[in-house]
Structure 1
Amino acid sequence: MASDTKVSLQNLPRILADDDAVKVAGIDVDGQLRGKLMAKSKFLKIAEDGFGFCSVIFGWDMHDRTYFRELAISNAENGYRDLIAVPDLNSFRRIPWENNVPFFLVTFYDSATHETLSACPRSLLKRMVEKLHKDGKGAMAGAEYEFFQFRAPEGKSAATFLQENPVNSLPSLTEGMFGYSITRPVVNQDYYYGIFDNCKKFNCGIEGWHTESGPGVFEAALEFGEITQMADKASLFKLVVKSLGTKYGITPCFMAKPREGLPGNSGHMHVSVIDKRNGDNLFIRSEPDPNPPYPDLKHLSDLGRHFLAGLLEGLPDIMPLLAPTVNSYKRLVENFWAPVTVSWGLEHRAASIRLIAPPTASPKATRFEVRVPGADTNPHFVLAAILALGWRGVEKKLEIAVPPLGKGEDVGGSSDKGQRLAKSLKEATEVFKRKDSIAREVFGDEFVEHYAGTREHEIRLWDEAVTDWEVRRYIETV
């Protein structure tokens, strides 16, 4: 269950008085939680200074295969050294589906320098937020995730089933296209309400929860909040869904495009900048601009305009963070409600960036919805990228160089003046790692070199793979 108690080193023994064990987890570059269960006595000893955690989680991929090109953080030469994992006491919650065992997220530090690890997702986002804090500002965020769900025949896991059967034969949780259906969730009522209830107890509450268009597809809008907490909650939401799915024999699927010919899974992020002193939304314009550069900007503040300009200018350079897998780019294609260009517009649901502002929204709700990310993303990296690009625009007072898409204008159509975004992970990674990349400017070389190396590993695995499609197409015809 969630806890309203402020946890400190002083009251930690009292809070854990009735517990025997504690669960801890950190987040790797692919957004996976990596952790362990430890005895309470051990946890109390390491709560302040942290404990050794093998760096190999930054030296291998999502299937524990070490990277083809060894990277600086973790490699054979440095013996896959230990990092220091320090529990974040403010992340305390209890896992309701595991007998309320205490749970803490950790942040990774370099054991040699004791500085935050360049590739640690939580640290990267925190470094971006600190730039705003120095100027007396903060950021708020919200997350939306769509995901398919499958149920393998009784007695088999989805992974086992797929070893023996074609991918498309894996049964969906429900069939048909029934977005916003009130009756469909009743078919799997305990699972559906179980996710909603456990998310609330686990402090990653859902604001809206419904079926989406697609067989077995659900969508969750998480309760908005401070941006670093939102990133944590987005990661933990996936943990809830996958854990509950395991209990019910259901496999939730957050990959960007699980099914050919159907819409993919999005992971839209909503962001606004606030005054830290009073919480005021700094994207609000106090009075409508009588002569805005574009009518869509009439109610957006100057700071908001610079933020938008930064997003638009930097978007092509950070695509591997918003589309991190080979499969991500199967979602980012024309005619499937997915953005494919550097584009924006007031309440435009196909553009890369949707401006939500008056007159269609209340002033206090003014924000940007960044619609490029899929559900396969690492939320800490996505929010760090949005904040880094937007704040760069504010600092440099950038001007919006791309006109908005009007209602009814298609992304990628003749009226869309925006640059086409990368069509593959290989193309995106080459732009991301080039010497004059905006990614290097905002994140630094160390992070870019590491993350680019992880994506190059993914690309090589894909390049060497022989797919079912190839075999079916060429086995007897060439």
Structure 2
Amino acid sequence: MEKDSIDMTKTLENTQAAETPTRTSLPDWLNQRDIDEVECVAADAAGIARGKVLPADKFVQAVSDDHLRIAESLFSQDVQGRTIDAGVVAVQEPDINLQPDLSTLRVLPWRQGRVASVICDAREDNGEASDLVPRQALRTVIEHFAALGFKATVAPEFEFYIAELHSDPNLPLARPILSNGARESGQQSYGVDILQEYAGLIDSIYAYGKALGVNIDVLTHEAGPGQFEINLKHGDPLAAADQTFMFKRLARAAAAEHGKTITFMAKPVADQPGNAMHIHQSVYAIETGDNVFVDAEGRNHDNLYHYIGGLQKYIPALLPMFAPFINSYRRFVRNAFAPVTTHWGYENRTVGLRIPASEPANRRVENRVIGADANPYLAIAATLACGLLGMRQRLSPSREMTGSAYAAKSLFLPEDLLSALGNMKKCKALGDVFSPRFLTLYWELKYAEYKDFMATITPWEREHLLTQI
């Protein structure tokens, strides 16, 4: 990282968001930080940041007037940014009102400190929250927990590849070039010396994360060449989703500054492990603060088993939120650090649902099915929704998997997006925790992307079929 960038992030650490600005204090907050522009962003269904950029004074006026309009069709865009013909979105593409969440207002360190960014919710003209917004889908699930007297805590950990700059989609990802001129090869799981090769970029990621309030806990090198894992500290589900959303942005910005590419694609390299987003989750009683997965003696409570039962039953139906693209299903390969079933077990990394060793107060479930390509708001909402339905319905899980789940004969994950979408469409219980309108839109988006891919003739087809059959 350049010296000016280091100095800038140190400054931001001291001035970033010691307090959340109010409508009244917002002008001073922006003036004290010499902000020229403010990004007003929301995550679309794919988790891509979309929105508007306003001059600082116009942003203050928009917040004061509660008037920041944007087309509702923003949330019916596919991963290519194309608006699909969605039955639940009016063909007139009416506006909705973005609602900046000022608690997320941050100065972007890679924009020389002159640009701030704020994450937005959205409301309809009648004042109700728009149910097409992924962030609202997570809020809704959190509200369902609160109605039962519960609150959830999550800790995401997600993997990504660092590679050379990549501009040609017809070429495979280029492994990073090391200081000796060779490309990284082999497997370097938990390697320490190899981290030095990426020290500048890693320093930038940490500095940007600290400046933006992203609570990075641990960084490790994973099995693939140039593959890393970042763990975020446990906390509120909405805050964790916001931080994951921002982490992806800051990581890409840092990589670009260092002449590298970072990808969260689930399976970017054919013969290497894919990128996962494991989410650890616990549930606590709001009144007492006690972990409801254990009883007063610290033994596993029925709530834990019901929660696991819910994950096992509903993951196949919500898999389009955990594995949202055709590429996502290429990650589910036996003996490749990814699950292929929804079996559960203690300290067992071959299963889809792992119970890590912990003190009773920290008893938790790790959902290992989710890919790093998932929208963090929807991934967290969906995994919590599965567990919530399990506790509501008092579902029982399968027997604990004590051996390798790769040898299992049951509880397999769907093998492709179309199968998962079929499960999603048939599952009526999802409407108990998600807006039916949102579920319909999401299904239509994913099906449109599937059809678009199926209309593409791949190099494999040209190589093996064009002249030989």
TM-score by length of structure 1 reads 0.89
Equivalent pairs counted in the alignment come to 445
Matched residue, 1:7: 21
Preserved CA contact (<8 Å) 2:294 2:360: yes
**d(CA) in 2 for partners of 1:262, 1:20:** 44
Do structure 1's residue 432 and structure 2's residue 424 form an aligned pair? yes
Matched residue, 1:364: 361
**d(CA) in 1 for partners of 2:345, 2:47:** 30
Matched residue, 2:284: 274
Preserved CA contact (<8 Å) 2:175 2:225: no
Aligned AA for 2:143? E
Aligned AA for 1:61? D
- Distance change in 2, residues 1:92/1:278 (3 Å): farther
1:11 Cα deviation after fit: 2.0
**d(CA) in 2 for partners of 1:97, 1:277:** 42
Matched residue, 1:403: 399
1:417 Cα deviation after fit: 5.5
1:278 Cα deviation after fit: 4.8
- The match for 1:39 among 42, 55, 78 is 55
Matched residue, 1:105: 119
- The match for 1:95 among 88, 104, 108 is 108
**d(CA) in 1 for partners of 2:173, 2:208:** 31
Matched residue, 1:138: 151
1:244 Cα deviation after fit: 0.8
Preserved CA contact (<8 Å) 2:100 2:119: yes
Q: Which moved more, 1:438-447 or 1:211-220?
A: 438-447
**d(CA) in 1 for partners of 2:36, 2:274:** 43
Aligned AA for 2:335? N
- The match for 1:452 among 431, 434, 443 is 443
Preserved CA contact (<8 Å) 1:196 1:205: no
**d(CA) in 2 for partners of 1:136, 1:439:** 21
**d(CA) in 1 for partners of 2:27, 2:238:** 26
**d(CA) in 1 for partners of 2:252, 2:29:** 28
**d(CA) in 2 for partners of 1:285, 1:197:** 41
Matched residue, 1:208: 218
**d(CA) in 2 for partners of 1:469, 1:72:** 37
1:97-129 deviation line (CA, Å, top 9, x unaligned): 223333210012223x33222221110000110
Preserved CA contact (<8 Å) 2:144 2:433: no
Matched residue, 2:73: 56
1:51-98 deviation line (CA, Å, top 9, x unaligned): 10122322321222232x434225xx21x2222111001112221222
Do structure 1's residue 30 and structure 2's residue 24 form an aligned pair? no
Aligned AA for 1:11? S
Gapped regions of structure 2 (runs ≥ 5): 1-11, 178-182
Gapped regions of structure 1 (runs ≥ 5): 153-157, 289-298
Aligned AA for 1:89? L
- Distance change in 2, residues 1:132/1:440 (3 Å): closer
Aligned AA for 2:401? L
**d(CA) in 1 for partners of 2:212, 2:173:** 34
SS state of the match for residue 31, structure 2? coil
1:43 Cα deviation after fit: 1.1
- Distance change in 2, residues 1:378/1:169 (3 Å): closer
SS state of the match for residue 16, structure 1? helix
1:24 Cα deviation after fit: 1.8
RMSD: 1.8
Aligned AA for 2:184? E
- The match for 1:468 among 442, 448, 459 is 459
Aligned AA for 1:5? E
- Distance change in 2, residues 1:328/1:142 (3 Å): same
Structure 1 stretches of 4+ moved >4 Å: none
Matched residue, 2:180: none
Aligned AA for 1:427? S
Aligned AA for 1:64? G
Aligned AA for 2:322? L
Percent sequence identity over matched residues? 28
Aligned AA for 1:8? T
**d(CA) in 2 for partners of 1:10, 1:280:** 38
**d(CA) in 2 for partners of 1:429, 1:94:** 39
**d(CA) in 2 for partners of 1:404, 1:94:** 47
Matched residue, 1:311: 311
SS state of the match for residue 383, structure 2? helix
1:343 Cα deviation after fit: 0.9
TM-score by length of structure 2 reads 0.90
SS state of the match for residue 327, structure 1? helix
Matched residue, 1:292: none
